[in-house]
Structure 1
Amino acid sequence: MNQTPLKDEVLILGGGVAGCAASIALARKGRSVTLIEREPTPRHKVCGEFLSGEALEDLHALGIDLASLGAAPIDYVRLAAARRAAEAPLPFPAASLTRKALDTALIGEAVAAGVRVERGRSVQALGRATGNLWQAMLDDGTTYEAPTVFLATGKHDLRGHARPKDPQRWVAFKMYFRLTPAQAAELARASELMLYPGGYGGIQPVEGGIANLCCVVQQRYFARVGNRWENFLAKMQQDCPHLAMRLAGAEPLLAKPISVTHIPYGYIRRATEKGLYCIGDQAAVIPSFTGDGISIALHTARCAAAAYLAAEPAPLFQAKLRSGLLAQMRLAEFAADGLNNALARAVLPFALRVWPGVMRVTAKLTRVAQSAAIPLHAVVS
């Protein structure tokens, strides 16, 4: 056990999209940064893996070459329910890439930028130390101290810094499939959103010719199928034959689905403490329906890095970030809730007819405005 605290200028807790993006931006500006990530190697995570136009711009500024990673282009979005589907072209360029591949690339870029990356290290607690420092206690008893901390632990909360409980008790699953050649061709360049009682799901191609099925359901609906993935998958296909068509003859590629529970959709952090910048899901959790999770992570990292470099206090940054995201978050919640209720399903034939126009408007309105902060290329260059 290290008895002497290790000190650095900035300590970043969490090596996902937000944590890595912030670490790269700060290191390229000459800051001394340590990033602590609990997983020893990048892994698959519950994520729709959709990269919007804003995400593509931010990743390019960070030096991530998505084409070389095999990212699948996404040009269309489809809404599917029962046996019908409606398609709309996306009003911006988009792509899809597994989180394992993206996180690997981001960690590599962070190391290249000079970030000290500590992997396989779990932070047990974060609190105040003496001398106006923050102190992070790791699972082996080692402590790290820094005047500034970026909290980027994603969906996992640290003791003493928990977000509100999820009233809907959402359960999310992710499974990769190898579709039949005919179904893979039908899905190519499209992200499909499917509705069913108690939740919604999406399926889209990722690199390597495989498809990502990511879905969420309220716990009470999951309990009705015995809290079992195989029963839930069968029920989704029964409620949405379009999905059953996609998965006919498909080969599941994971021994079991990746899952996560208690996702506080709609959460936006109201306040923080001096020297503590909260980013990614620790700042805001947008409904999965919008496909904006990765974009939000990158946006919050960009804003936080710019704020820190401009000596903007963390409480002021957090308040400004909340104000900038509030309208988009509320609209996303409204859209997700509106699509998944009994009335929406009752008027589904009409909804499918107007879907293309609604989708174009919703996609534009729920995007994170790049003008809301300093562009990332100005932060990292």
Structure 2
Amino acid sequence: MTAIVVAGGGLAGAAAAAALARAGRDVTVIERDAAPAHKICGEFLSVEAQASLAAIGFDVTALGGHRISRLRLVRDDAAVSVGLPFEGLGITRRRLDAALLDHAASCGTVVRRGVAIRGVDCRDGLRLDLAGEAPIRPDMLLLATGKHDLRGVRRQAAEPEALVGFKMYFRLNPAARQALAGHIDLILFDDGYAGLQMVEDGMANLSLLVDRARLQRVGGTWTALLADLVKRNTLLADRLTGSVPLLDQPLTIFRVPYGFVHRPAANDRDRVYRLGDQAGVIPSFTGDGMAIALHSATRAANAIIAGHTASAYHRALRRDISGQIRRAAALYRLARMPLAQRALFGVAGTFPSLLRLAAQYTRVPPRARSALY
């Protein structure tokens, strides 16, 4: 029997495993990908996320990410720029997750790559059904599978909206790289928004979220959507002129339950701890999803070390993150509506400090962090 199994070797799973292993616990991470891979997830590490990594002995600055200290809000041909209340770091999940999983292994975690968990049976203890292998029965399970649910322990989320997410890396022209340096460009367009930022090795990450109906109206493909956005937005056109796509196809995702926060219930499994997107899903670019993932990892590890139940952990985590996710969800709804976009942009142009305030109020609150560190 394995004492603790972490399902998923991403940010939350690897961080929790490292924390538990450093405390002397017997931990195994089961990761379905056999090798490091790009993920359609956030790639902006706030100061809180960086502090969470430092607390488990991980030096993220050694990975060569791009330092980001300003936000540029863009709509049509107008832009408003403001300094962030902290300095963030842009780094690909492929590089970060691989290094963090290696760190967990160096702390004593057993890492099993290329193994898929088919489902979880909680009727008589815990049983994990593995693809091509005999089932295993851990004492505890940390669910850190991101936006992917496992049979038997699916999230009880409301019906998600019909939104499509895309992500592509580009090699920008020198002038565009210089203009984007140190910034996140948050680009508003009808029925969606996009974020453009630099990551490591001179690459730029363009991620966007669009209503499915809008996507269908412009042709239903990434190529057609990008061409339409470039035609309508001069800044984005300037950024992508002469750029080179670095993936054969964009990463895509559909029907993500943005705004979900796990609500502890009487039928919760007492030894199943939900981490990251399995505990709460904050909208992309309007919240700090990577910090939430790392915060949940720290809180779960602390709860297990202290002997607290999964229900107690979930109640505490919900108190920590529900307000943040609720505020980010409201901002993300505004960011997708044409009339609200214009109002938001007008207010930001007159009072740019409100952008800094929005960034502060969509982060993990200090009171929640102070309870852990």
Q: How does 1:354-365 map to 2 (within 5 A)?
A: 354=350, 356-365=352-361
Q: Does 1:215 align with 2:211?
A: no
Counterpart of 1:255?
A: 248
Partner SS for 1:303: helix
Other-structure match for 1:274:
270
- Please give the alpha-carbon distance, in whole angstroms, between the structure 1 residues aligned to 2:287 and 2:173: 25
Q: For 2:137, what is the secondary structure of its paired residue?
A: strand
- Aligned partner of 1:29 in structure 2 is 23
Q: Is the 8 A contact 1:52 1:291 kept in 2?
A: no
Superposed CA offset, 1:176-217 (max 9, x none): 001110110000011110111121110000110110001111
1:320 aligned onto 2:316: yes
Alignment of 1:162-311 (within 5 A): 162-163=154-155, 164=157, 166-271=159-264, 272-311=268-307
Q: How far does residue 349 in structure 1 lie from its aligned partner after superposition?
A: 5.5
Unaligned runs of 5+ in 2: none
* C-alpha RMSD of the superposition: 1.6
Equivalent in the alignment of 1:134 = 126
**Cα distance between partner residues in 2 of 1:239 and 1:282:** 36
Q: Which moved more, 1:342-351 or 1:361-370?
A: 342-351
Give 1:366's aligned residue: 362
How far apart, in 1, do the equivalents of 2:51 and 2:91 lie? 15
**CA apart distance, 1:307:** 1.0
1:226–1:355 distance in 2 versus 1, CA, 3 Å: farther
Percent identity at matched positions? Answer: 41
| Structure 1 residues 21 and 370: alpha-carbon distance in aligned structure 2, compared to 1, 3 A threshold | farther
What's the counterpart of residue 43 of structure 2? 49
Conservation of the 8 A alpha-carbon contact between 1:78 and 1:192: yes
Aligned residues: 369
The whole-number CA distance in structure 2 between the counterparts of 1:309 and 1:288 is: 31
Alpha-carbon distance in 2 for matches of 1:305, 1:65: 19
Provide the rounded CA distance (Å) in 2 between the counterparts of 1:20 and 1:374: 22
Cα shift readout 1:317-338 (whole Å, capped 9, x = no counterpart) = 1122112211111111111112
Q: Which of 2, 6, 27 is 1:8 aligned to?
A: 2
Aligned position for 2:340 = 344
Q: Which of 63, 70, 77 is residue 76 of structure 1 equivalent to?
A: 70
Which AA in structure 2 matches 1:257?
P
Secondary structure of 1:288's counterpart equals coil
Among 30, 51, 58, which residue is 2:52 paired with? 58
Q: Distance in 2 between matches of 1:275 and 1:353?
A: 49
Compared with structure 1, are the counterparts of its residues 328 and 277 closer, same or farther at alpha carbon in structure 2 (3 Å cutoff)?
Answer: same
Aligned counterparts of 2:52 and 2:235: Cα–Cα separation in 1: 34
Give 1:356 shift.
2.1
TM-score by length of 2: 0.95
Instruction: Name the structure 2 match of 1:89.
Output: 83
